[in-house]
Structure 1
Amino acid sequence: MPTPVRIGLIGCGKNMATHVNRLLPNPEVQIVGLADPNPESIASLRERFPALQTVPDFADYREMLRTVQPEAVEISTPHALHYEQIMTALEHGCHVLVEKPMVLRAVEAREVIRLSEAVGRIVLVSYQRHYWPVFRYIRQAIAQGTIGQIRFIQALQNQNWYRRQRATRRWRTIPELSGGGQLIDSGSHLLDILLYVTDLAVETVYCLQERFDLPVDVNSALTLRFTNGALGSVAVVGDAPGIGAQVWEDITFYGSEGAIYYRMMGGVLDRAPLLEVRQHEGDRVVPVGDLPPASDPDTNFIEAIRGRAPVESPAICGLRVAEVTEAAYRSAALGQPVQVAEIAGEAARPA
């Protein structure tokens, strides 16, 4: 058995529990430090996972990096903190797994990629849909030409986000910490998976948003034009009934030769996602067959550090989402379409 990968955790809130739940059973992992400015968060995580009782804790993640010198870190903190934490961890020679969104701006994303390549360390964005069998299948089917060239994408995501955030008024409703509302939060997952499974790039974004009584966006309506000429209609609805924080997603990929339909209601245990593939010729329904195996970001992180697997949700995905998200927020502010190339050009210019 090789020496375990020594991992420090940055941010010990509720979301980190999902990662710890996957890390602790892995014999190739040793959690060596917990960092969070809120001691209650650390106490709560230890209460849920007694194995963490003897792990050193720190109020400042930089002190953890200096003291325990982890080989890798996992970051689950407010969005606006990600950039500095990623860059500091890379400067300390750490591999990095970071929650979505990777960063807030495209210029930050390019700096993350530049530094990670310079120091030879992995940056993995925790976009878990990359590891779901259904999206692995969709990506393969599109790449194999099952529905031809993508011509239109329709995507809807809704969640009981607004009422939950209005009731708690935590960091997600503070623009300086969140960087935005539902679009940059759960909507980040939706934008990412559309780009990932199609391997398309967005050319133009037109976005309208509604905040209601919050200082951040709740509902967003995006019209997209992709560089291959395809169009997209993306709706991110934060004011919807739901089961806790679970989401409903409804996505259709229309191609020149057919379409792929995906429907999912999160939190409904007895309802599997609907996946159907149809082709124009003969109105044929394509048998889906067995789906690819499942995995998760934490397992892939360790496998990639060991050199046994490629990073399946790399930093370039964080950059693509940052470009589209930044263009969407600018479009909503200006009331006009925005070219993604404008955002990419700003990111590429020297500071």
Structure 2
Amino acid sequence: MARIKERTDKDGKPRYTAEIRLKGYPTQTATFQRLTAAKKWIQDTESAIREGRHFKTTEAKKHTFADAIDRYGSDVLPIRFNTTEQRNRRPMLAWWKAQIGHCVMADLSTATFAQARDSLAKEGRKGKPLSPATINKYFVVAKDILKRCVNEWHWLEQSPLRDGRVELPELPRGIVRFLDDDELARLTTACKESPNSLLYPAFVLAISTGMRQSETMNLYWREPENPPTETAWGVVNLSESCIILHETKNGDRRRVPLASQALVELQKLNKVRRLDTLLVFPSPTHPHKPIELKKAWLNALIRAEVNNFRWHDLRHCTASYLAMGGASMVDIAAVLGHRTLDMVKRYAHLSDGHIAGVVERMNSRIFGATP
């Protein structure tokens, strides 16, 4: 909706104040000496707003991208992310500030960020080209800043990075390494027979839940008075057969179900747990720090004759076994704690058998059983 108000100025000449009100957008006003100029401004501005080209609001002219980065660093980062993620994001914020921090918000465009993308690909942060995955991480941070400029601070009407307007490098397909049946049996036995009594329950818990290593190693029997601030951590709840992860890599709180052998192993540990620490997997010499299982893990891999396999690959095992068992991509993302399906698409091919069964059952209902 638009309207024009006419008034007479002190010099006796007419002035025309044009006003535009569109749902979901701030009201825009401008004053002109000629009625035709006011009408043309309304036409051009309405068109620009609907096409996402109208960033020339008062706030957008008042602030620079450096202002947005500073506010994000002081108001968002310490509250929204754990210490590790803060440490990862601060160099990216510094790069964005040095690269385009001088730009007024009203002047930010897709071209601005396309040039920044090319700079990351050619020169990187320290003169070395960055990988597609790292470039995408830089843009995750930039998108988050711009989203807050639009939704919370009202410094922009629309983000120049919305709807994928800047094409980012395509990520390479992730390598999925999971244990086949023989490898799983051998490694399970090797972990069970390890001199380190905590290796086997940690192994079972990791492969049963898909939790990250930091999440597994920083589990407590109850919430500590001073929980860790630099890593993920959680609390075991045996009465409800679950683990509550209070801090995770992406900052979300997550409930992890405990079932079968994982629940049994934690119940056993609870009966013989140490009284000088709340950690489920404490260090034998420093009870308030998690145990270091690297040596015991490597020895188990050697004994089981399992090659090219990391602890993190246990997480791939969980996802792969879920996919082969018929779990949907949404289910797998929920178990692993991913916000989107992008990270679990690498397991899609493992559910082909399940999908084929679904298609077969659909066709049987339509056309009847195949003779």
- Using the size of structure 1 for normalisation, the TM-score is 0.26
Which structure has the highest strand share of the two? Answer: 1
Q: Which has the higher helix share?
A: 2
Which structure is richer in relative contact order (CA contacts within 8 A, separation 6 or more)? 1
Normalised by the length of structure 2, the TM-score is 0.25
Q: Which has the larger radius of gyration?
A: 2
